[in-house]
Structure 1
Amino acid sequence: MNPESQLRPYPTRRSLLKTAATAAVAAPLLSACVTGGKKDDGEAVATGAKTADNPLGVKADAPLEVVVFKGGYGDEYAVKAESQYTSKYPQAKVDHKGLQKVGEAIQPRFVAGNPPDVVDNTGAGRLDIATLVAANQVSDLAELLDAPAFDEPGKKVRDTLLPGVVEDGTFAGTTVALNFTYAVWGLWFSKSFFAEKGWAYPATWTDMLALCATIKKSGVAPWTYQGKYPEYINDPLLGMAAKTGGLDLVKAVDNLQPNAWKQDGLVQAATAFAELAGKGYLMSGSEALSHTEAQAAWCQKKAAFIPCGSWLESEQKGIAPAGFDMVMGAVPGSAGDKLPVAAVQAASSESFLVPAKAKNPAGGQEYLRILFAKASAKAFAEANSTLPAVAGATDGLTLSSGLGSVRDAVTAAGSGTFTYRFRTWYAPLAKAVDDATGELVNKRLSPADWATRIQKAADALAKDSTVQKYTR
């Protein structure tokens, strides 16, 4: 069984990026900020002299506490970065904690004002980043981003990151989180199985429906999905909508604009997925399946397609049969789309932050400078079949079928990558969308009612003066 599946009842790597209300810890947090070398309670902050070799002013003998989510990727990659930190600062003692329930363990420490120096705020029950930002509990990482890259001379840290990584951790103009992995969403299939059956991956939704009819006649279910967590099937639906309506559609949704969810692109996409369900192209019983159960059924070739992010291959190690050769394709488009057929939804995840009340914030940022080095990212990619957020991290590597297809999808998309940010900004809206889509694909909600239901939730959020709003 996949190690992450054993550790978490909540779904897969999806938890890394997208914040669901049921998974976020949203209890009150104390406001804090760091100024003038002291925390707001007057306690001194560890700082040292800034030099070319120590651009962030690390105090050489200051202890460093690092808390990492120990999920499907484990935490060995983080430990390796800590070893490099102690090699550079041998007097510093590093306290490492690899946890499954980061939010549960760390929230009381935020409230008490004694958080760790670095937190990998990931996994089920992670802290709601928007809540942390509103409470001034996280440090501005601008100095880190403008610091020299650890192992790429002549570049700043920000210059080494893939498109959108800085923006993904930015709230109201301030970057407060840096995400280590780069997730890409699409439709997964077995390259060898398709070759055996003579099936070709469809470029358009019309082609998809025609192929689904052929697949169904062969006795295989065209699609399955992780039914207990409908956010999975939300992704291709929202991806299709973005291709149809372009970035203006995406921004309207994120900016909580009136009637944003009633835009033609979204209603058309909802109609397409209602048709997928109506024609019987979803494997019977998918609604009741967890992510592990649906993915296992797909690996057993009970279904041809499954929607998922780029972490799927890593999760299916030891489950997918030899020669399965899983690959990911971009969500099919339609004639007249505003985004190209190769466009993919992509964003960074595995969110690292430095708490505002950290005792050693300079050490925390220096640790991240080391972690986000190209060599560190390359070793992570090799060990986990996952694309890191550092550009060029897979260069020179012999890639597995899945990771190779993800890398190729990002390359093909070029500037045509996109992402929605409402999930990170507004956890309650994310849950409302997921719930409505679950009802849609199980034929209990029409496309029009799907749009109306979600728009009602978005309007209520827009009118709620207690919720901090963000725009793009």
Structure 2
Amino acid sequence: MGSNSAANNGSTGVGRRDLIKRSAALGLISVPTMSFLSACASGGGDDSTDDSQGKTSKSNPFGVQKNSKLDVVIFKGGYGDDYAKAWETSFQKKWGVTSTHTGTQEITGKLQPRFNAGNPPDIVDDSGAQQIPIDVLHKNGQLLDLAAVLDAPSIDDPSKKVRDTLIPGTLDAGMQENKVVALNYIYTVWGLWYSGKLFKEKGWEEPKTWADFLAICKDAKSQGIGGLAHQGKYPYYINVAIMDLIAKKGGLDAMKAIDNLDPKAFVGSEAAQAGVEAIYEVVEKGYLMPGTNGLTHTESQTRWNQYKAAFITCGSWLENEQLKQTPDDFDMKFMPMPLLPDSKLPYEAIRAGSGEPFIIPAKAKNLPAAKEFMRMMLSREWSTLFAKEANSLTIVKDGVDTNVQLRPGTQSTVVASKAAGDNTFRYLYTEWYSEMGTAIENASNELMAKRIQPKEWLKRAQAAVDKQAKDPASKKNHRD
């Protein structure tokens, strides 16, 4: 399972072109040279020092101390943690710094007591179902402002700042009150997934309209196959479908209304009503994969891998998370959310941006090494190590060597990204307002179980928005 994710890119470009250029380098697609958007900036910094502080120099901007120790905690989910072990080996070889490595899915369980005691790790991949919400950590003053890392010289080209080597817009998801406090490292797309093999066998075409999507679900049901699977115990996933439909139906304005806590974000929004009613139609017509509401993410995904459902909603960590459960000839495919009538965004539009937030706690014992570790994460060498081990692209422009071959599902996200061009969007409320996000997920859980109707879902979602809007801190986050 991956992670959820101030947007001065309007959430349209989000570095699409850089992804295309990088994919062309991988030989996956052929595209002409394009100009690139400029990256966003942020200020501030924190240079706490202690016994781990060594001498700074051009090649050692943060003063990494040889023979010091680094405490690394990695969410061991869809991307595993082998990539981090490879990084740590490289780091020790270069700096003589030994790492304590923890790979776990219990981020909150293992780390909350350490944060509370003022003894956090040095660097953390804070992701997964048990993620400690970034906004909560930030409000408690527990996160380092990453400006010093982003403004440091790039390892690959010291004449450039690190931030200028990243895909434009990818820092936005880690911003709180205009400071980057989390580095969302992985370039992610969200949408629907299906088996190319199953579709070929059944004679189904990738559905571009919601009517065509429902037709496939109906045909699947008649053959004893579920139409749509979702990861019922984590309603974050069905919200991928609901929120994508809202954004595509109402355009970027409908999306920004939710992030900006508009009093008509849900109640009074034609797009929101259409989106939630469309998903509820799947429930009402019995097109859900039987039992999906009660399953975890991996349980639902594994049944989908067993051809028990035509579609599933997820982000692009899905392929790597399901490697052991996916048949060799499954031919995993990604597709954009199909269109409702009179949608403002085209079919090719996709939710895209950065995911998997890495943080440096403000009270980390070895801040110099933690900052250098993050700087090295944003090098071509470490980005390529990640692609090899985790079958995914990072936020580093041209960050993957040409000899790395991606698997079918990830390759299909590259094709979808090329087709989308600048037609991308990305919600930020999940990062800014975790309590509101949870309230909307809880409403979706009730909706999928038929305990509430779409009208009540809209009321509950709007109530969550209105409650959040009353918090004075909310005024510090805004999308233009």
TM-score (norm 2): 0.84
Task: State the partner residue of 1:382.
Answer: 388
Q: Secondary structure at the match of 1:68?
A: strand
Query: Residue 410 of structure 1 aligns with which residue?
Result: 417
How has the CA–CA distance of structure 1 residues 336 and 35 changed in structure 2, closer, same or farther, with 3 Å as cutoff?
closer
- Is 1:198 aligned to 2:198, yes or no? no
Task: Note if 1:142 corresponds to 2:147.
Answer: yes
Task: Determine helix, strand or coil for the equivalent of 2:396.
Answer: coil
2:297 & 2:118 partners in 1: Cα distance?
37
Structure number with higher relative contact order (C-alpha < 8 Å, ≥ 6 residues apart):
2
For residues 152 and 369 of structure 2, the distance between their equivalents in structure 1, rounded to whole angstroms, comes to 13
Q: How does 1:455-466 map to 2 (within 5 A)?
A: 455-464=462-471
Partners of 2:358 and 2:170 lie apart in 1 by 12
Residues matched between the structures, number: 439
Are 1:229 and 2:216 matched, yes or no?
no
Report Cα offsets for 1:230-285 as digits up to 9, x if no partner: 22111111001111212222121112121211211111111111222222222233
- Tell me the residue number matched to 2:183: 178
Instruction: Show the counterpart of 2:15.
Output: none
Letter aligned with residue 278 of structure 2: A
Change (3 A) 1:459 1:45: farther
Residue 163 of structure 1, CA deviation: 4.0
| Counterpart position of 1:277 | 283
* Equivalent position SS for 2:418: helix
* 2:457 corresponding residue in structure 1: 450
Q: Please report how far the alpha carbon of residue 60 of structure 1 lies from its aligned counterpart in structure 2 after TM superposition.
A: 4.1
Q: Which amino acid aligns with 2:70?
A: L
Which one-letter code corresponds to 2:234 in the other structure? Y
Secondary structure of the residue that 1:165 maps to in structure 2?
coil
**CA–CA distance in 2 between the matches of 1:374 and 1:268?**
43
- Retained in 2: the 8 A contact 1:34–1:356? no
Do structure 1's residue 436 and structure 2's residue 443 form an aligned pair?
A: yes
- The CA distance in 2 between the partners of 1:149 and 1:34, in whole Å, is 17
For 1:67, what is the secondary structure of its paired residue? strand
1:98 maps to which residue? 103
Greater CA deviation, 328-337 or 63-72? 63-72
Quick one: structure 1 residues 280 and 103, their matched pair in 2 at CA, closer, same or farther if it must change by over 3 Å?
Answer: closer
Give the secondary structure class of the aligned counterpart of 1:240.
helix
Counterpart CA distance in 1 for 2:226 and 2:328 is 21
Task: Check the 8 A contact 1:17/1:351 in 2, yes or no.
Answer: no
The CA distance in 2 between the partners of 1:98 and 1:287, in whole Å, is 28
Q: CA deviation at 1:190?
A: 0.6
State the shift of 1:384 in Å.
2.1
2:171 corresponds to which residue?
A: 166
Q: Give the corresponding residue for 1:63.
A: 69
Partner in structure 2 of residue 27 of structure 1: none
Matched AA of 2:293: E
Given the alignment of the two structures, is residue 346 of structure 1 paired with residue 352 of structure 2, yes or no?
Answer: yes
Q: CA deviation at 1:381?
A: 1.8
The aligned residue for residue 378 of structure 2 is 372
Gaps of 5+ in 1: 1-11, 19-32, 39-43
AA matched with 1:96: H
Q: Percent of aligned pairs with the same residue? A: 43
Deviations 1:377-398 (A, max 9, x none): 2222222223323233455232
Which one of 229, 242, 258 corresponds to residue 263 of structure 2? 258
2:128 counterpart of 1:123: yes
Alpha-carbon distance in structure 1 between the residues aligned to 2:153 and 2:465: 41
Counterpart residue number, 1:318: 324
1:133 aligns with 2:120: no
CA distance in 1, matches of 2:397, 2:321: 23
